[in-house]
Amino acid sequence: MDISTFVQQMINGISLGSMYALIAIGYTLVYGVLRLINFAHGDIMMVGAFVAYLAQNAGIPFELAVILAIIAAMVTGILTDKIAYKPLRNAPKISLLITAIGISFFLENLFNVLFGGVPRAFSAPDYLTKIIHYDGIIVPVTVIIIPVVTLILLFIILWILNKTKYGMAIRSLAFDIPTVKLMGINADIIIMLVFAIGSALAAIGGIFYAVSYPSIDPLMGVIVGLKAFAAAVLGGIGSVAGAVIGGFILGFTEIVVVAFMPDLGGYKDAFAFIFLILVLLFKPTGIMGQDLDRSRF
Amino acid sequence: MKKITTIAASVALIASMSYAKEVKIGVVLPITGPLAAFGQTSNDGLKIAYAQNHTLKNGDTVKLIVLDDRGDKVEAATAVKRLINKNHVTAILGEVASSNSMAMAPVAEKAKTPMLTHASTNPRVTKGKKFVTRACFIDPFQGAIQANYAYDHGYKTAVIVTDAKQDYSVGVSKAFKKAYEKRGGKIVGRVIINSGDKDFNAQVSTIKAKHPGIVDFTGYYPEAALMVRQARAVGVKAPFIGGDGVGFPELIKIGGKAAEGFMYSDHFDEAAATSPVAKAYVKAFHAKYHKATDSMGALAADGYGMILAAMNKCKDPTDKICVNTNLRATKGYQGVTGVININKNGDAVKSGVVRVVKNGKFAYLTTVNP
Amino acid sequence: MKIIKLLMLSVAILFLIFAQNNLDPYTVSILNNIAIFGILALSYNLINGVAGQFSLEPNGFVAIGAYVTALLILPASSKIDMFALEDPAPIILAMHTSFLPALLMSGIVAAVLAFILSIPVFRVRGDYLAIVTLGFGFIIRIFAMNQTKYTNGAMGLNDIPDNANLLWTGGIIIVTFIVMLNVIYSKYGRAMKAVRDDEDAATAMGINTFWIKTYAFMTSAFFEGVGGGLMASLLTTISPDQFTFLLTFQLLIIIVLGGLGSMSGTLIGAVLVMGGTEWLRFLDQNMDIFGYNTGAHPGLRMVVFSILLIIMMLFARRGIFGNKELTDMFKRGKK
């Protein structure tokens, strides 16, 4: 293949990787603090995309719709924790997992009932759908904007985690919840914050996804969510930077491998997991992870 | 005088009611799920036809039991079992996707219940079956429409895009290839997609590299829309032509400007509908829904009409064998989508149309006769 | 004790014969469904509930079982006809046996695969185990979708001979139940429970935890494969889409509802969940009479189902039987 196509595919890979990264951060934050695989996280991405779609349909301008979507996602995330996860804080893990799956199914089917399974067309403002032609390479503007925004958000999150006291609270919660409570910190509020941040990022990821692939449906979060989750584990669950790295690796591999070996195209959904399993075999804690499994049940 | 008339009228009414039976038709459609657009539009057309007529010649009323199979073939087969065994329907109408109809057919066949699919075009749905009929043309015909149209308009090389998950797409791809190569056209490439995918980067790059004159997209509209968008974004200039699976408004909504010029073979177009039956349907459709008509609704209406016609020819409209025999023997049925003749395989021999996306709307190009 | 068991067994068999011949096909198909999901859930309970290894993989083994049986009982002529994207590989055309050997093959192939997979899978624990098994289930399905020469890809297989009836499904679920009970009460079963309760302590006691886990995994896989084969013959049509995470999820609900680790509970769970899914179907349709109704809200059934599941997790986590068996109740002499 020629150089321009090659570069094009590289850029596409980075763009897809960013979307996985944004959603992966949410998974890793929640897992780090609660040791819970929040299966419903992918569906929160879907909620974000749908709310943005509905808001725009109601005539609200795009930027405002995005903010509304973020708020809606945050509310959904926080509510999910309050209603379904909090009562089970001390229950065996399998109960939590099943509940998470239950919430995921609930969201998917609720949106199915409300909006039907027909894919809807997502409209994005012109400045996001422009296509730049440069030297034989055709680049949709999103492919540049998405990774940049992702990196900015990543730095913001890292700053919050490392330089603010809330961030410190989150990091200590990841170590041991009862001790943190003894120190007088309201663990519940911090947990709420974790869900809020994760859900907000998922919403943004969802909107980016909807802009790149302008057809949304209630099940859009399922596969993307699973892959983002694989990315989070790949990068080391509990590590935000790891989640982003995992996301980029995954997105990149997906696009580039299929570009170079189109016959493998049908397997692309399996890459995430094949990758993941290989990494787990050799470095069970992921690329940047610490061994969290021992510290708390 | 008034009293006697009233009594007489009531007696007559009660008498007729006690003799009038309910004849049930089971309908299996994908009202939700990935094929929801097809199921819902079919249902819309069916409702119009039902409103126009739901009484048989002998006074019996027709009742429709509609089950949603969520586009899943196992659900479809289960739904048919339910309809036959629990609801005691006389006939089955459905489904849309050939994959699902093929799962339903053996069940209907085993229970000796007539099944009419209004929209499944893969030949294997009726193959070897005695109790399955269809109201639409089959894929060899559809593939030939696309191939001939493409070749006749100067597109001598083509890339075929096949959706590996759908029997429908595989069938049309085969038919197109056969007809196209027969005319002298050259297939320069084949690309595989899976319904449900959103990213077709690899595929459109392959298409670009092959420089075809035309792209034959044999899948469904969600993927068609995204693919044509991505194709145009990387600079593929060749026009797209497809089958009846792409002809939905979402093609234009999601595809945007990229969808302009997308051609496809279809069963029905208002502009070509000149018969009284068709005109009445179109008028009622517009009055109720305020939107453009489509093939699925028209075909569902015809399927329903054919079943009713077959029932009317039977002494006992709940006699499944009689209804089936009449269905398979349908000749010269004046339907919304044209004149329908069922051949010995249970397939309909009728005309098709070619439509195109023009200025953000579907426009009529031409009619193709068998 | 033994007499009661024999009595229960004879009643069950008589019921099966009666049902197969006398009840209407729709009810029979529901019973068949319950039986098959019962078989799958019982085997799933062994690895999850008894051995405590949180595996999310059953959909993979069920898929393998279904395909193996289907390919074995389909006649070669059907295969040639059916394989649309690519012609079937010669071995696919050649393989053909009758029903029982086919089912056994399904189980064996699944068990062998479980053995191979146990090497990577049991290197990790807890959540990571769940993720890895989820991944394998996923990968198996993707392979089924893409190896068109062997599986006809995403279109699946149709017109599978329907040898499965209540005698088969009912018979096999009885066999499965008895086998599972025997495993639980054997020394292997006790070792599995020890691993479940505290793996490190079990190792300290001299139990070879890797082999115990693998043994559970393989046994589970065997019956999941057989169940898959039954499913293929019952439905007469299979496609990779049927073997998604949703299937695993349904099995998970069944075993949790019945009580993790309790086989009797699983049986009850299967009846409740499969029967419940059918019963709740009325929620999906309000469109019985055209135009005279509020309109259907398809999908409502699954919404209600998910809510019920969440409520159950919040308030009745241990399931119906906890981790006891029906026979335990007889032993203690309690209620």
Q: Where are the domains of chain A?
A: 23-218
Backbone angles phi, psi at B324, to 5 degrees: -65, -45
Please give the pLDDT value at position A79.
Answer: 93
My answer on whether B19 and B128 are in the same domain is yes
b or e along A190-205 (b: 16 or more beta carbons within 10 Å of the residue's beta carbon)? bbbbbbbbbbbbbbbb
Please give the pLDDT value at position B355.
Answer: 92
Q: Strand, coil or helix: what is C298?
A: coil
User: What distance in Å separates the CA atoms of residue B214 and residue B176, rounded to the nearest whole number?
Assistant: 12
**How many domains, chain B?**
2
Contact C95, C72 (CB under 8 A): yes
Does a structural domain hold residue C210? yes
Taking only residues 68 to 87 of chain B, the set having a beta carbon closer than 8 angstroms to any beta carbon of chain A reads 70-71
CB contact under 8 A, C154 and B194: yes
* A215, B122, B189, B240, B279 from B160: Cα distances, Å: 23, 17, 6, 10, 36
Query: Which chain A residues touch B164 with a CB distance below 8 Å?
Result: 266
**How many domains, chain C?**
1
* Beta-bridge partner residues of A134: A137
Cα of C298 to nearest chain B Cα, Å: 7
Please give the pLDDT value at position A140.
Answer: 78
Which two tokens mark A270? 């399996």
Does a structural domain hold residue B213? yes
Nearest CA to B164 out of C110, C27, C334, C155 is that of C155
Does a structural domain hold residue B363? no
Does a structural domain hold residue B369? no
Residue of C nearest to A102 (CA): C306
Question: ipTM, 2 decimals?
Answer: 0.80
Does a structural domain hold residue B324? yes
Does a structural domain hold residue B359? no
Please give the pLDDT value at position A133.
Answer: 76
My answer on whether B250 and B196 are in the same domain is yes
Cα of A88 to nearest chain C Cα, Å: 7
Does a structural domain hold residue B8? yes
pLDDT in tens, chain A (297 residues): 567 777 777 888 888 888 899 999 988 888 888 888 888 999 999 999 999 999 988 888 888 999 999 999 999 999 999 988 888 887 777 788 888 888 998 898 888 878 876 788 888 887 777 777 777 667 778 888 888 898 899 899 888 888 888 888 888 887 777 787 887 778 888 888 889 999 999 999 999 989 888 888 888 888 888 888 888 888 887 788 888 889 998 888 888 777 777 677 777 778 878 888 888 778 777 777 665 444 332
Q: Domain of B210?
A: 140-266
Using the predicted structure, report yes or no on whether residue C329 has a pLDDT greater than 70: no
Q: Domain of C61?
A: 2-244
* Beta-bridge partner residues of B26: B65, B92
Please give the pLDDT value at position C80.
Answer: 77
Chain centroid to Cα A265, Å, comes to: 23
* Beta-bridge partner residues of B339: B334
Contact B96, B72 (CB under 8 A): no
* A294, B24, B268, C135 from A38: Cα distances, Å: 20, 47, 48, 16
CB contact under 8 A, B51 and C85: no
CB contact under 8 A, A121 and B234: no
Taking only residues 230 to 249 of chain C, the set having a beta carbon closer than 8 angstroms to any beta carbon of chain A reads 249
Q: Strand, coil or helix: what is B276?
A: helix
The count of other CB atoms within 10 Å of the CB of residue A112 is 23
Rounded to two decimals, the pTM is 0.83
Q: Which of B266, B298, B318 is the last residue of a domain?
A: B266
Q: Which of B230, B247, B266 is the last residue of a domain?
A: B266
Chain centroid to Cα C116, Å, comes to: 20
My answer on whether B132 and B152 are in the same domain is no
Picking from B192, B198, B199, the nearest residue to A266 by CB comes out as B192
Cα of A248 to nearest chain B Cα, Å: 16
Does a structural domain hold residue C237? yes
My answer on whether B131 and B8 are in the same domain is yes
Does a structural domain hold residue C325? no
My answer on whether B222 and B255 are in the same domain is yes
The count of other CB atoms within 10 Å of the CB of residue A260 is 12
Does a structural domain hold residue C327? no
The count of other CB atoms within 10 Å of the CB of residue C166 is 21
Residue B351 near chain A (CB below 8 Å): no
pLDDT in tens, C190-242: 898 888 888 888 888 888 889 999 999 999 999 999 999 998 888 877 888 88
Please give the pLDDT value at position B225.
Answer: 92
b or e along B44-61 (b: 16 or more beta carbons within 10 Å of the residue's beta carbon)? bbbbbbbeeebebeeebe
Which two tokens mark A78? 């926080």
User: For the domain that residue B174 is a member of, what is the CATH number?
Assistant: 3.40.50.2300
Query: Neighbouring chains of B at 3+ CB pairs within 8 Å?
Result: A, C
Which two tokens mark B369? 């006769």
